[in-house]
Amino acid sequence: MSTGKTGRALLSGVLAVCMTGTMALNTVPAQADPKPPVIPSQSQVDAAKKAAADKAAQVAAIEQQLAGANARLEQLGRETGIAAEKYNGAVYRLTKAKAEAAAAAARVKKAAQTLADQRRQIGRFAAASYQGGGDLAQLGPLLSADGPQQLLDSAGAARSVSQAMQGSYLRFTATQVVSNAFKAQADQAVTKVQAATDEAAKAKKAAQAAEANQASAVAAIGAQRKQQISQLARLRSTSYQVADQRQRGLEELARQRAAALAAKKAEELRKRIAAKEAAERAEAAAAQAEQARKDREEQKEAGKHGTKPPKKKPKPKTDRPGNGGGGGSTPSRKGASAAVAFALSQLGDPYVWAATGPDSWDCSGLTMKAWKKAGVALPHYSVAQYEQVRHISEDELRPGDLIFWAENSNDPGTIFHVAMYLGGGRMVHAPRTGRPVTIDSIYYWEDPDFFGRP
């Protein structure tokens, strides 16, 4: 009995220990405290949103600055082109002033020679009168510079001068008046040359300054662009290469959109030109048919009377008059083709202001030499080129025609760029410093203002 009790007591103790251990194991996890979640304060959330917005704003600002830099480069090119063409204009006016001064000097020289000849004629008359024994004591002053006027101021002397002598003197005095007028014109021409020389020098300095300003700005904008793209990369947490690639992609996308718009405008122009050409062909065919009808009627009428119809002289083929400017007959398509071919052969040559070839060009220098190849003389100045060509509308454009841009679309005196039309809405031109002679859409930049045909 005692042994059984002892065994049961031992078993009970073992079970108690096991249960106690099990309970202890089960309660350990419940005793560990969980980590509290990180919950930012509202002010932290607001600060994070602000930081993100600031970063986005900085990115947008830098992208806007990069776009502005490209626009600034185009504007600088425009300003340089304007300055260069103003210099060409100053040189053009100086050349004209020198020619006018030379012509005035020649007129003065000729008038002086005429005066000398007439003075000798009066002297010979006086000598003949002396030999004739006339009252010639008063005729001696004729041989001096102021002699004729002094002599004729005297009533007695006037009575002793023959009718022939009076005629000689009248011619002499008239020549003196003309000579004095020529001298005044020559003096004015010299003054004009000096003013034109000063203007050309001033314009040259302005063009040089614009060119230097553009070169400096191109370098500065290039460095600024690199710095801004690096900043974009940091803001976006990307590499410079990726940021640069993105920026170039955005710029290319903008260029493609502009090119698409230019192509659309060019296609619209092509359709307008085709419609106008068709209308002109129809008009010419109708006129030809009408003329043929008249010829048949004349022949029929002549047959009734047994006479032959009169032969008609062929009409010269001339272009219709324009709305101003020079012009004349339209050059042959062969001439225009020669001008276009010459301009295209200069593709890739650098732009240099005031250059007229053979390996570098400015805008009016290229069009001048191109049309010279076709036998048409144009000045090296876009404004003067427009003045000397036949003015046409945009719908009348044909290959070889000239296209002009102006600061004021209502004032051709402000023209600063000229290009040559190729057809299909395209042109060849020398654009600006940094861009060689190239082919562009006529709408790639600003829409053109004036059009002309040499």
- Residue 13 in tokens: 């103790």
- Residue 304 in tokens: 């009734």
CA distance to 207, 428, 429, 437, per residue, from 349 (Å): 20, 12, 11, 5
Tell me the mean pLDDT in the region 146-165.
53
Query: Which range (123-137, 185-199, 238-252) has the least confidence?
Result: 123-137
Contact of 322 with 391, CB cutoff 8 Å: yes
Q: What is the pLDDT of residues 245-266, one digit of tens each?
A: 777 787 788 888 888 888 899 8
CA distance 161 to 150: 13
- Residue 114 in tokens: 């005429």
Contact of 143 with 126, CB cutoff 8 Å: yes
Q: What is the pLDDT of residues 37-96, one digit of tens each?
A: 766 666 665 665 666 566 667 767 767 777 777 777 778 888 888 989 999 998 999 898
Q: How many CB atoms lie within 10 A of CB 27?
A: 9
Tell me the mean pLDDT in the region 300-318.
62
